[in-house]
Each structure stands twice: as C-alpha cells, then as structure tokens.
A and B are shown apart, each in its own frame.
Chain A
Amino acid sequence: MTTELLHALLGGLLIGSAAALLLLGRGEIAGISGVLGNLLEGRAGGLAWRLLFLAGLLCAPLLWRLSGGTLAVGFPLGGPAIAAAGLLVGFGTRLGSGCTSGHGVCGLGNLSLRSLVATATFMGVAALTVFLVRHALPGGAS
C-alpha cells in the first residue's frame, strides 16, 4: 500500500511536470483528448508539437518495457462494453473540451471554474457508473 501511494504521488508529480514543461516552454495545454482530437480533425496549426508530444507518450511504454518493466493491465469487461466505453470517452471528452489531463491536471492547476465543474461531473458520473455496474445492477460483483 505504501509503495502504491508513493508511486501514485511520484507519477502525479511526473505528469504535472510534463504539463508545466509544455505550458512554460511552449504555451500549450497538455490535454490528451485535445491533442488527439485536433490531430484527427487535421488542424494545421500546432501539428508538429502535437505529433511530438504523442510520439513521446507512445515511446514511454516501449522504453519502460525495454528496461524490464511490465504493464499490468487487467480488463474488467468484454469487447462490446469496451467499445461502447471508448465511444463515450472519445465523443464526451471532445464535447466537454477536455479529459482527466486537460480539465483535471491543467484546468484545476489554472484555477478554472469550468474545469472544476467538468472534473466534478466526470468523476461523479464515473463513480455512479461503477456503483451501478458493481453493486446495483443484477450480475454485479456484490
């Protein structure tokens, strides 16, 4: 548990440093859904930094595994549910102008009311969804 807490804190500090670096060095917001969405929409401005940021993000797990680390990933759901979740995450983050990184890490750091409301909304609805799936609907774990 202590290691878990330490890793969570260190990981958070790394994520925050990455966002601060991008903001102070380039004046850009490290929001993953914004980076992906703008690339998908073929926005010409900011193409280079977005591609570089994305390349770094994708290289991290490869370097991690090359250095002997493992990616422990356990999926709780089957394919159709995962596909539905992916659609909701993709459409929702674009409609709501941000995700855990854009609204959570950057927006809260910017003391933004918009981001505070967005973060409270997606965390609240996510917790409610987990409650329904695990505890309230038939077939839940408990």
Chain B
Amino acid sequence: MTRLLPLVAGLLFGFGLILSGMIDPERVLGFLDVAGRWNPSLALVMGGAVVVTLPAFAYVRRTGHSLSGASIALPDRRRLTRRLILGSALFGAGWGLAGICPGPGLVIATAGSREALVFLVSMLAGMALYAGWSRWQTAGAAPAPEAR
C-alpha cells in the first residue's frame, strides 16, 4: 500500500485541480484580474489546501519524521536568494499570460487540445533549458544547489 501511496496522492491532487477550477485558464485569469471583474473564488483553493498542509508540516517539523518513522529533511525556509525572486517573477509572468501553472498544464494536456499541448511542450522545454543552463553554471563554479 505504501508503495502505491504516491499514485493515490497524484490522483487526489489531480481531482482537486479539476474540481477547484484551477485547470480553467479563464477562471484563473479572472482571479488574477484584480482591476477587472475580479473573481476571488480561487483564493479558497490555496486557502483550503494550506489548512490541511499546515498541521501535516507542523507534525513533521516537530518530530522530524514521517508517520512510518522515516526521517524527513524539509527544504530550507529562510534563505532569500536572487534566483528565488527572479524565478518566481518569470513564473508569474507566464502564469499571468496563459493562466496555467504546471499542475493544470499536465492535466489539461490529457484533453489533447492543440493549445494545451503547445503549453505542455514549451513548459517542458523551459525546464530542460533550465537544466542545461544550471549544468553549464555548475561546470564553472559549484554553487550550493537549492533542492526543489
């Protein structure tokens, strides 16, 4: 069962994205359009999700391990870097243009529309571009890698 746990988590995640409306670019852009006919309903998606993840992370921070006892190293919470800000800004520009972030990008690609496939392929290309760029960077110096 524990072996299949990531599959179940992926299914739940996907159903959540579909049910919530996050997979509809028009809805997402309506949420981001604070100067237009603002539709705030999607704030409840992140709100509802964080209500569940807060106690889960609190448990792991306190005990340092998962429910099965395996030790967990959580990502760094403090260090603010230029790449964190610049990367998030680039992501925000793309998200604001298309209204699609990575999870919904995967989900809607299964419907097979041309636009959804164009988005998925170019998103993967952007990630591959980053992989190549960071390998080229680390070939020169060796900056500390930031996990995830």
A residues with a Cβ closer than 8 A to B are 1, 4-5, 7-34, 36-37, 40-41, 48-50, 52-65, 69, 71-77, 79, 81-115, 117-119, 121-131, 133-135, 141-142
Contact = CB atoms under 8 A, between A and B. Distances in A.
B77 A88 contact: no
B68 A55 contact: no
Nearest to A108: B50
A50 B106 CA distance: 14
The 5 A-B pairs with the shortest beta carbon distances in the complex, nearest first, are A56-B10, A90-B126, A11-B20, A60-B14, A96-B87
Interface string B38-52: 010111111111111
Contacts of B59: 24
Contacts of A127: 32-34, 96
Contact of A62 (B13, B95, B110, B124): B110
Given A76-B29, A82-B115, A105-B49, 5 more contacts: A13-B16, A15-B12, A57-B103, A86-B100, A93-B101
Contacts of B97: 77, 81-82, 84-85, 88, 129, 133
Given A27-B72, A36-B124, A60-B11, A95 B83 contact: yes
Interface of A (DSSP majority class): helix
B35 A86 contact: no
Contacts of A119: 88
A51 B20 CA distance: 24
Contacts of A16: 16, 48-53
Contact of B123 (A23, A54, A86, A125): A86
B86 to A, nearest CB: 6
27 contacts: A8-B43, A9-B48, A14-B13, A15-B48, A16-B53, A19-B49, A19-B53, A20-B52, A30-B9, A37-B127, A37-B131, A55-B10, A61-B108, A88-B97, A89-B94, A89-B126, A90-B94, A90-B129, A91-B87, A99-B102, A100-B102, A103-B88, A110-B57, A114-B80, A130-B32, A130-B96, A134-B35
Nearest to B42: A8
Interface hub of A5, A14, A98 (most chain B Cβ within 10 A): A14
Nearest to B129: A91
Nearest to A132: B96
Nearest to A6: B44
B91 A92 contact: yes
Given A36-B102, A83-B122, A109-B56, A71 B108 contact: yes
A93 B46 CA distance: 17
A20 B56 contact: yes
A121 B130 CA distance: 20
A111 B56 CA distance: 11
A10 B98 contact: no
